[in-house]
Amino acid sequence: MKFVGFKLIFIIALSLMGSVVNSEETSDFKLPTNFKPISYELNVTTYLEDKFVFEGVVGIRMTCVEATDTIVLHSTSLNIDTKSVVLANGGENVIPVSSVSFDPDKEFMHVKSTVNFKPCDEFVLTISFTGNLTDDLVGYYRSSYVDKESNQTRWLAITYFEPLGARRAFPCLDEPVYKAIFKIRLSHKKGLTSISNMKFMNQINCPSNSDYVVDEFEESPPMSTYLVVYMVSDFVYTEANSENDQVNYRIICKKDLANQTEFAINLGPKALKYHEEYFDEKFPLHKQDMAAIPDFSSRSMENWGLATFQESGLLMDLDVTVIDDVYEIAHLIIHELAHQWFGGIVTMKWWTGLWLNEGFAEYAGFRGVDFLFPESKYFQVENVKNFLLVLDQDSLQSAHPLAVAIGKPDEIAPISADPITFAKGPILLHMINTFLGENTFKQGVRNYIHKYKFSNAEQDDLWCSLTEEAHRQGTLDKNLTVKQIMDTWTLQTGYPVLNVIRDYSAGTVTLSQERYLSIKSNGTDNKTCWWIPITMTTSGDFNQTNPTFWLNCENNNLTTPLAKDNEWVIYNMQMTVLSRVFYDTRNWMGIICTLNDPTKYETIPTLNRVQLILDSLSFSQVGDLDYEITFQLLKYLKNEKEYTPWFAALSGLVMIDDLLKRTPNHAVFQKNMRDMLSCMYSKFRNMDEKVNGYENIQLQSLVISRACQYKTKDCIQRVLDLFRKWMKSSDPDNNNILPKELKETICIQAVQYGGEEEWNFLFERYQRSNLPIEKYYMIFALGYTSIESLLLRYLNWSLDESIIPREDAPLVFYSETFNEVGFLVAKEFLYCKIADIYEYYQRQGDSLGGYVNNIASQMKTKEELEELQSFITKSSSYFKEPDSVINQITETIKKNIEWTSKFYNKIVPY
């Protein structure tokens, strides 16, 4: 599954979705270990258009592990005739079933026999079942689209099983540890086609219905139930000229989108080859499909052999798609293909390992884009965005460890929708790669894949493989293990701040660590400490990222020699360690002198400039560093030419902007921001002038976006002139005259500063567009209007899937909260319509915490805190985890209140 991949502003909004319950792992909601499955024979008939139901028979061959008289498996939302349940010994002798019962709370099905099962005995359990093809977007569900040629509604059926959806489609042992071989047959009406994990073998006429056919697929290797997939549709197939003749690679989508498959069909085989070489393991299946689904709750899903995507996550028109979206889709494709090894071939034992499953796929995705598009510097850009996200979210007291103990099934969904799961993992994996070295890391991962091939593993198994390889290659001290280091990063909440205090007269530096918190706790948390690889420089040699020593609990508060005459010292080379670094004032000033010298600032590499910006803003935010020092540091930006430092600075300043909104000081702050941006904006103000290079394009878009956001008159006028020129064109749908790379930015700003005419024009373009990515950013842009009546109408439309697709509806709410007028409208809409919003989303099992937290992030008074707490208390039945949601919201608003009381009157002079 892939959650990330949206624009960062949306990622940060989503990052506040439903906090996670801290719990101990418990076996209460896990299946008993008496049986393990060997294979499934699954036969499913799908009825579309008339009944919207499915029926099937599953035969599960299993072996007894511990003596018992009862088989326990999962089943929910299915109709099962208990009299049809048959148990056979080796498929021959029928064993009488004394009872079949269900436990709805645990979603268990109990099949009790008249005899006792003994260890090593094999049995076949056969169950007939029926179910409804709902529109819930989970389990086996129905979706639809309107055919452009006939203007008729077409129906399809598709599965989405992660994490607990397979039990909604057929009775099974629905936990990742229970891998088994699958043999699948799909019956459907003639004229439609079906696909599944494995390659199609043959088709026969259905014996019981002349209008139906039965498709049979190859037998699978052992796999977990959440990776099983099947679909029935009238979609078309685009096949690649694969570099690997043994693997058939296809893109599957609606007929009218087939012309947008070129990029994915060319990239897929290259990505497969890249992963085969990286993992040193051949792709084990005979085909790899990727399907674009009209209604899909996740951005993408890594089902083995058939990855599924939202249409905007897979398809594009290269002539109109901006470079940012090109690389984002490339990353998404490479991410899901990495899962075919890290998730498919080797699978986590339990959902506590979800971070490693997703974190490695993210890491491999970033590395893969860099490899296949070497001009992009994609890894560096995305790593900075991940840092920004994690440093913010993981600084809350209410944050949770990366490896979260999962006790109950309903605790899985918040983790799977939590960006920490996706963002913190790749940062830590990059850190391991850095302190072990690329060769050790890669070989350790290969050893792990080879050892646990077609089986299950957990993070300790990976740590063991990496340790063994590191000791063999001599890249890690024999007395140290990767587990010893990484347990402090994955099993503990938060991250450290490395305190660097110099004694200039003695020529020494003292290092210490503590957990970084955005709200200071009453006492220092002395119990929390990390194994921190220490790298530093005083000379400008920033390429040395191998640790000279480690700071840990035993040697915390360590003093080492440092020459007196060094102007400054900087720690954490290339920002490879997930930590903040705090220096004494004299050292900060030495760094600032270098940064503000246009001939010297580049002696501090880009990533360390990024960290200095992020850290100084954060330390000022909590009161540890005077804002005057931070703004002296930021003055160097007038000479900065690279994207990531500007991104770090402007993203860090968004918090101040948000908290000054709807206050008298906001206008003063915006003027200061216009002054900061003026020099860089002057380079990009000619929006028709083409900019080359991924980072330069990103920088242009960022600068123009913020210049308009902070009310630069020239920027606003130029954006409106371009947009209105497009409005007057004879064929705006086929002749979009906006600069390709600035379309999204221009649409957002034109809607914000334009009127109802601009809004209606863009909404009409949205309705007529056949480009999923274009439709996606238009939905977002439309939420930026400042006209209250449009904002309210748009929010109401977000709950009508005939206007806005259900999976895109949250974009409407999130985008509206980002403008001053929209925030108040969205807040009242949430308060008044919570029941309707809950009803609209609850069938998918989605948490509404994201809606509430997005509003909370901009609240800054005690009155607003009390107002929101009262709302949540009254509406607690609509939230899955009201206590944890309240904790996170309370902490977020308290942080804002504290900042406002301390800095509101001090910030604007800068």
Query: Exposed, middle or buried: residue 554 (CB in 10 Å: 0-12, 13-18, 19+)?
Result: exposed
- Single-letter code of the amino acid located at 583: Y
Question: Three-state DSSP class for 626?
Answer: coil
The answer to whether the CB of 46 falls within 8 A of the CB of 131 is no
- Among all chains, which residue has been given the structure tokens 């003994």? 118
Report how far residue 718's alpha carbon sits from residue 185's, in angstroms, rounded to the nearest whole number: 59
For residue 382, what are its two tokens?
């995305």
Report how far residue 780's alpha carbon sits from residue 166's, in angstroms, rounded to the nearest whole number: 33
DSSP at 223: B
H or E element: which one contains 210? none
The sign one gets for the Cα dihedral 568, 569, 573, 575 is: negative
Report how far residue 688's alpha carbon sits from residue 311's, in angstroms, rounded to the nearest whole number: 29
Q: How many CB atoms lie within 10 A of CB 508?
A: 15
Report how far residue 853's alpha carbon sits from residue 15's, in angstroms, rounded to the nearest whole number: 9
Report how far residue 428's alpha carbon sits from residue 448's, in angstroms, rounded to the nearest whole number: 18
Report how far residue 321's alpha carbon sits from residue 318's, in angstroms, rounded to the nearest whole number: 5
Question: How far, CA to CA in Å, does 43 sit from each of 54, 55, 169, 170, 210?
Answer: 10, 8, 11, 10, 17
Question: How far, CA to CA in Å, does 411 sit from each of 20, 190, 225, 395, 891?
Answer: 7, 41, 19, 21, 21
Report how far residue 705's alpha carbon sits from residue 744's, in angstroms, rounded to the nearest whole number: 9
> Which residues make beta-bridge pairs with 103?
108
Question: Three-state DSSP class for 899?
Answer: helix
For residue 802, what are its two tokens?
């005939």
Q: Is the peptide bond before 269 cis (omega within 30 degrees of 0)?
A: no
> 335: annotated binding-site residue?
yes
Q: Is the peptide bond before 171 cis (omega within 30 degrees of 0)?
A: no
Query: Exposed, middle or buried: residue 410 (CB in 10 Å: 0-12, 13-18, 19+)?
Result: middle
For residue 249, what are its two tokens?
């690679």
Report how far residue 552's alpha carbon sits from residue 484's, in angstroms, rounded to the nearest whole number: 11
H or E element: which one contains 194? strand 193-196
- Among 216, 311, 336, 774, the active-site one is 336
The answer to whether the CB of 267 falls within 8 A of the CB of 159 is no
Report how far residue 272's alpha carbon sits from residue 333's, in angstroms, rounded to the nearest whole number: 10
For 67, phi and psi rounded to 5 degrees? -60, 135
Report how far residue 898's alpha carbon sits from residue 162's, in angstroms, rounded to the nearest whole number: 40
> 358: annotated binding-site residue?
yes
Question: Does the annotation mark 567 as catalytic?
Answer: no
- The shares of helix, strand and coil residues in the chain, as percent rounded to the nearest 5, are 45, 20, 35
Report how far residue 673's alpha carbon sits from residue 241's, in angstroms, rounded to the nearest whole number: 51
Q: Are strands 53-64 and 122-132 parallel, antiparallel or unpaired?
A: antiparallel
User: Annotated binding site for Zn(2+), which residues?
Assistant: 335, 339, 358
The residues annotated with a catalytic role in the active site are: 336
